[in-house]
A and B are shown apart, each in its own frame.
Chain A
Amino acid sequence: MDYAQTGREAQARIESAADLDALEALRVEFLGKQGSVSGLLKTLGKMTPEERKEKGPEIHGLRETVSNAIAARKDALEVAALAAQLAEQTIDLSLPAPDAPTGSVHPIAQVMDELAEIFADLGFAVASGPEIEDDWHNFTALNMPESHPARAMHDTFYFPDRDAQDREMLLRTHTSPVQIRTMLDQGAPLRIIAPGRVYRSDSDATHTPMFHQIEGLVIDRDIHLGHLKWTLETLLKAFFERDDIVLRLRPSYFPFTEPSVEVDTGFSFVDGRRVVGGSGDDAGHSWMELLGSGMVNRNVLIAGGLDPDEWQGFAFGVGVDRLAMLKYGMNDLRAFFDGDVRWLSHYGFSALDAPTLSAGVGTPA
């Protein structure tokens, strides 16, 4: 018997087995108890040692060939079966995945955070005070006694109410009352910012009756206007992330500062938008009013419980909404307060855009 030939024939039949059932039938046929190869193995016992020595390896070789072929075929058939099964499970991945809602942080909050980050590096702590104020904190203590003409310029919202000290209650017209509250509370030296809502009875394309300000106050023994100029330059350079910020100081008047300084910054129009940078006297540039500031008036220091012969300092107040518009390019202040989700989606910020100095406080477009 030519065992090699038998093996080849068996191998051929195994390799062409169509499925696992046919393969099992072949296994039984060759290797089952009654199988042909099993039968050959049984003949070994009856052989002479010489015969066994000659035939044994051949018969064992045949058995090995057949069982290897069966195992290989089994693997192949199983892989094919899995592939067929997976092919059945094909889905259309161009269908949309489940939606996850996307939220946003309002530009005012974002810019407040940016400013707080910058001021923290300059050593300014955050202070706050009530928005429903009394006229002493909002006016009198800020060197605006009742008859002061500047009071009338503030377009103040009043309440019919008076507090226990018979002070007229009103909506604060600026964040400056926080200066008084903080001086009385903490004394000097001081370096604070006070962000928050302020109110003026004024409404047109560029004014809303509610807006946001950040007050800055530095009180120490030897602070002067040069420090104010540096602080504002440093703030704007960090906020706009550019080094070509040029400020122009103009004499002005605020009852709570003396000397008082209006601060302009140079800008130019790029694609119809104001872009801060450069000197307003440069070609193609102009100046725009940015904020009011000055050295804290003696009377204000006294109202804040400080000795004006020992302490001096500067204060400024800047519109946060305005800074947001200048930096991020919105052109309508009223839209800030509408809650239009289309606008919020467009101008709002990702929750992950928390400003850091290491990454630059701003979020690029």
Chain B
Amino acid sequence: MKFSLEWLKYYLDTSASVAQIAAALNAVGLEVEGIEDPAETLVGFRVAKVLSAERHPDADKLQVLSVDAGTGEASQVVCGAANARAGMVGVLGLAGAVVPSNGMTLKKASLRGVESNGMMCSARELEQGDDHEGIIELPADAPIGANFAEYQSTSPVFDIAITPNRPDCMGVVGIARDLAAVGMGSFRPAAIPDIPGTYPCPVEIRTDDPAGCPAFFGRVIRGVRNGPSPDWMQRRLIDAGQRPISALVDCTNYLMLACGRPGHAYDLAKLSGPVVARKAQAGEKVLALNEKEYALDPGMTVIADDGGVHDIAGIMGGEHSGCTDTTTDVLLEVAYFDPEHIAATGRKLNLTSDARQRFERGVDPAFLDDGLALLTDLILTTCGGEASEVVRAGTPPADAKVVSFDPTLVERLGGVVIAPEEQQRILGELGFAVESGERWNITVPGWRPDIEGAADIVEEVIRIHGLDAIESVPLPRDPGVARPTATPAQKLERRVRRAAAARGMHEAVTWSFIPEADAAAFAEGEGGVWTLANPISEEMKAMRPSLLPGLLAAAKRNVDRGAAGLRLFEVGRRYLRGEGGASDERLTLGLVLAGEKSARGWASGKAASFDAYDAKAEALALLSEAGARADKLQVMGDAGPQFHPGQSATLRLGPKNVLARFGMLHPTTLRQFDIDVPVAAAEVFLDAIPGRKAASGFARSQYAPPALQAVTRDFAFLVANDLPAGDLVRVVASADKANIVAARLFDDFRGQGVPEGQKSLAIEVTLQPGEKSYTEDDLKAISDRITAAAAKQGATLRA
């Protein structure tokens, strides 16, 4: 909301400075977003008279003017405006002045060989209106040489943000009222004129939609002369950012900006029959004043006559019945529209307007007659004419809200002590009627639809009193050291994050939404991916079902920037479909290892690429940090079609519970992400890791190092090529649980000496003797058990 100090002073008797008013606006919650002082932006623009105008010798459309800007000397100015002529008075921008509309600094210049010492300006260039057809024409008696800003008696303009709860401050009057309450001057409410009609209103007005339009007041004014509105009105409108259109339209806009009260003026000549507020009929359309056609539906309230719809009620008037220069008789509409209806209609039509903003936030239902009187007065004053009697269809909601209030609530909720008298003064200034007693009964003024209860009253009192008065009060604190607060999930997340970083990976944070095709390639589960109805772009459309697509896109960007080797991870949610249409968001750690694992080196030789075992190592290490027992995990298949079918696997706890997947990515996946280096990746499903049983304390189980030293024995087995080595190791390790404490595979050999179709797997077995050392017989028995267990996997001891 923009308004000039000059306009504000019409409703607020004040001698406060611009800075004081700005501070007060901020303090009461009317946030100042900007202050413009045209006296500053219009420095160097002077009222000037054109002494002579000659055709430019070298250009048809240019004239060479001799201009008097009050310096006593005529300056030569080249001008392209058709309306420039000898004798006219306009505005000259001197060299050095900055044109407000485009920020250009004026300089002495030569235009087609003729020197020009400034620029005669259009209204648009000086942000005085939209006119750019010609240069500004001022009255002949304008003081030559005067500073243009002073001549215009420009005023500083405040631009403030109005929160949606304050429709009253979408008019200058409301702002003045707040400022008066906070001590910035005394409030001068608009004087309501009494203008009796001299003849019955010739048009029937009805509301057939009392829900959408509870009240429709109107009257006719005959014999108006439309044309430009007076300068004082134009100035206030321009300062408020409103383009002057014609006196009739400007009067309705003026009322809206002054009092927050939208109204409408119809050209009576274009109406036929009764003017009715009703629901739109299916299929009806209206061409609105913004020159767009809107298709209406029966949920929307319109103003219509026998000829059809003229107005999207409370939102925008129609082109057909709008006032023009030839309008002589008008029907004024001042109505009350239901805020929810207006909001719903505006949303459906995707149409915003100044009127909609005010109606949907709630205009004062007690201000219809006053608003109509003010509008009538404005039109009679500016356009002449004769007003009819007022007709009133329906009644606006009339029940004033009364809030029962305990004045001690200000301290209990607001944390500040304010004397009851001061509370009453503040409320009184703001227009509340206070009936005091043990509890106060406070009547809420009609222009404050936001006030619902006691908490709102507290806000009114403390915001005017000043929030600075609130002292900090410590929250009560339990005795002793603060107790731990992190949830198990949070602890898990922190632990794996720092573990991954410690293992040399960089944590990335990538978008939760990704391109639909990327999401589809990683989709899993029922119902498909969550896809936004209104994405900001195609790149951010589908919620990620995996962390890998986002990491791959990041990897691609890094590779394109020249990164040779890359270790990235992310901890975040995957978004799946849950029960009952809810989402199922699962905490996940994704990682990608792209390109070179190690660069070429003087000792290591050629650069080495990441392989699937690197991804396995990370997955196992992180699972182990996350509390999963690495020795219980089984390596199984089905990492998913995004992975290399022969170089990927899952890590499971039992046959069903997949804790992680890892491996090299499928070439097709890499092609989809346009990555031309090998990529190993893993995804650790943190949500699938079974929670630890609540520990009973901190003490570990008892441990004493064995008295006797462990011994190792090596076994080499021949097995079929396709037997997973892990299966053999597992059976060997569990062949004699009393003695075997570890089994470690240290060789996988195929070739000379090993039969075709077989491989030799060498395993080092660690044996831990108990009370006494092993005898040869003991060792033989253990060996036999190991060999027998291996035989069940088809393994034979290698000769």
A-side residues, CB < 8 A to B, are: 95-96, 98-106, 108-109, 113, 116, 119-126, 128, 130-132, 134, 147-150, 152-153, 157-165, 169, 171, 191, 197, 199, 201, 203, 209-210, 218, 222-231, 233-234, 248-253, 258-262, 295, 297-298, 312, 336-342, 344-345, 348-352, 354
Contact = CB atoms under 8 A, between A and B. Distances in A.
9 contacts: A95-B603, A102-B504, A123-B477, A124-B485, A159-B533, A249-B468, A250-B31, A295-B413, A339-B551
Contact of B453 (A102, A253, A262, A298): A298
Interface in B25-52: 26-29, 31
A265 B437 CA distance: 40
B477 A104 contact: no
Contacts of A253: 29, 163-166, 450
Interface string B558-583: 10010100111101110100011111
B463 A348 contact: no
Contacts of B568: 339, 341
Contact of A231 (B27, B475, B566): B475
Interface string B323-362: 0000000000000000110011001000000000100110
A251 B467 contact: yes
B459 to A, nearest CB: 3
B498 A224 contact: no
B592 to A, nearest CB: 10
B741 interface: no
Contact of B511 (A169, A210, A226): A210
Given A230-B474, A312-B413, A348-B507, A99 B554 contact: no
A199 B512 contact: yes
Contact of A104 (B474, B507, B575): B507
B507 A225 contact: no
Interface of B: 26-29, 31, 163-166, 339-340, 343-344, 347, 357, 360-361, 411-416, 450, 453, 455-456, 458-459, 462-463, 467-468, 470-475, 477-478, 482-487, 489-490, 494, 497-513, 530-536, 540, 543, 550-551, 553-555, 557-558, 561, 563, 566-569, 571-573, 575, 579-583, 585, 598-599, 601-604
B467 A249 contact: yes
A130 B583 contact: yes
A159 B475 contact: no
Given A125-B485, A251-B29, A113 B470 contact: no
A295 B486 contact: no
A105 B569 CA distance: 10
A252 B467 CA distance: 11
B467 A261 contact: yes
A31 B664 CA distance: 74
A202 B603 CA distance: 52
B461 to A, nearest CB: 9
Given A130-B585, A250-B27, A348-B506, A342 B561 contact: yes
Q: What does DSSP make chain A's interface, helix, strand, loop or mixed?
A: mixed
B611 to A, nearest CB: 15
B342 to A, nearest CB: 9
A101 B572 CA distance: 23
A224 B500 contact: no
B360 A149 contact: yes
Contact of B512 (A101, A210, A349, A350): A210
A182 B546 CA distance: 28
A158 B530 CA distance: 10
Contact of A209 (B477, B483, B530, B536): B536
The 8 tightest CB contacts between A and B, nearest first, are A339-B554, A101-B504, A251-B29, A226-B415, A163-B581, A253-B163, A259-B459, A132-B583
A106 B28 CA distance: 40
A163 B581 CA distance: 4
A341 B563 contact: yes
B414 A147 contact: no
A120 B482 contact: yes
B415 A251 contact: no
Given A249-B470, A253-B165, A132 B507 contact: no
Contacts of A147: 339-340, 343-344, 360
Contact of B472 (A113, A233, A340): A233
Given A103-B503, A147-B343, A251-B467, 18 more contacts: A103-B504, A116-B490, A120-B485, A121-B482, A122-B477, A131-B573, A153-B164, A157-B536, A159-B532, A224-B412, A226-B416, A230-B472, A251-B459, A337-B510, A341-B568, A349-B501, A351-B498, A354-B498
